[in-house]
Structure 1
Amino acid sequence: MFRTLRRALCAAAAALLLPLLPMTGAQPAHAAEPGAGYWHTNGRQILDAAGQSVRIAGINWFGFETSNNVTHGLWARDYKSMIDQMRSLGYNTVRIPFSDDIFKSSTVPNSIDFSGGKNADLRGLNSLQILDKIVSYAGQGGLKIVLDRHRPDAAGQSALWYTAAVPESTWITNLKALATRYKGNPTVIGIDLHNEPHDPACWGCGDTTTVSYTHL
């Protein structure tokens, strides 16, 4: 099972996935300034396109994993102003949780305020198209994005990477779709394959239905 997953993901995501340092709190702007272009690893360091060491100073922006199907806060503010604020506070990376619901054609983003010109370019877009807008604007300001498959659906988190409603095949298909969507985009530096797997998930137990995907 995991050999199949390895082959499926590697072809689409080899250029995209990076080993990531743990998320940290905001650092002073001069210390958290990200490098330009693609980031890559060299041993324990993350380097920018010029070979300069960079440090991830990350913040979570929840919402795509909930029934809103879009980042939270858009009911009150324009998404660009929030991204600008993250940048001004010294963050250089935004972790965006999502659920597999955002890949469904029936999913509609909600709780977005369009009054006074706010979020005007998001009107009529689906969740993935709004994600594209966020990635694009974040990249223009030098921010990087880590995508986080946080839940199989908006109903809640799961111990394993699959459920009866969202099988492993759907998980693989959607991860491949994301990797393909952002392949070649230096703003997206990684994908968290599944948030916090736990019991009955296991490490080294030999049971392919529960063994942790981190052994890929």
Structure 2
Amino acid sequence: MKPLLGLFVLMLTGGIADAAPSLRVVDGDTLELSGVVYRLHGIDAPEAGQKCTKPDGKSWACGKVAISVLEELVLGQDVRCDDRGQDDYGRTIGVCTVGTRDINARMVVTGNAWAFRKYSADYADLEDKAHQDHVGVWQADTQPPWEYRAEKWAVAQQESPNGCPIKGNISENGHIYHAPWSPWYTKTKVSVDKGEHWFCSEADAIKAGWRAPYWGR
């Protein structure tokens, strides 16, 4: 009984380390840490279904690569994120680090994200260097993600009911919404009779209880 008694004492005194925080990569510039969704400050990664261009004119799955690179940087690591307020979707904006390594910066340095200059110039110099070195998304002229989203949105808005193009789907994975740039957008059907919805914005979908898909593993 002594070993069990010793274990009980350790638990009461905090002698057993707390469980590791849960960590999930949502997409190339978003992760979920201990239930908090962090939008990486100052960067914008290609969307999950976005393709980029190679020097020979062929395309490559830059969105999927960005997700994989972020996973390699953070999964299994002690990740810390600061809090710089919230965006319009309730996500916490932050710089995430592993030790002294700035994860946001690494995504830009490796050419797997743009510096999101519309909101911050913090990583502009790193982007300029990546562009100069033709790494990642800078191998050839590539549409930045904010233009990609705007283009997809404009097309879907014309084809959706009342100009509200976000699809609120209900599945075994829960209430999940798909924006026009989602890889599953065209395959997703909205059955209003089953309680599914069309939304005019991501904020509306989140407020109604839907969440964005997780593209990481």
Q: Which one has more relative contact order, counting CA pairs under 8 Å at least 6 apart?
A: 1
- TM-score when scaled to structure 2? 0.25
Higher strand share: 2
State the structure with more CA Rg. Answer: 2
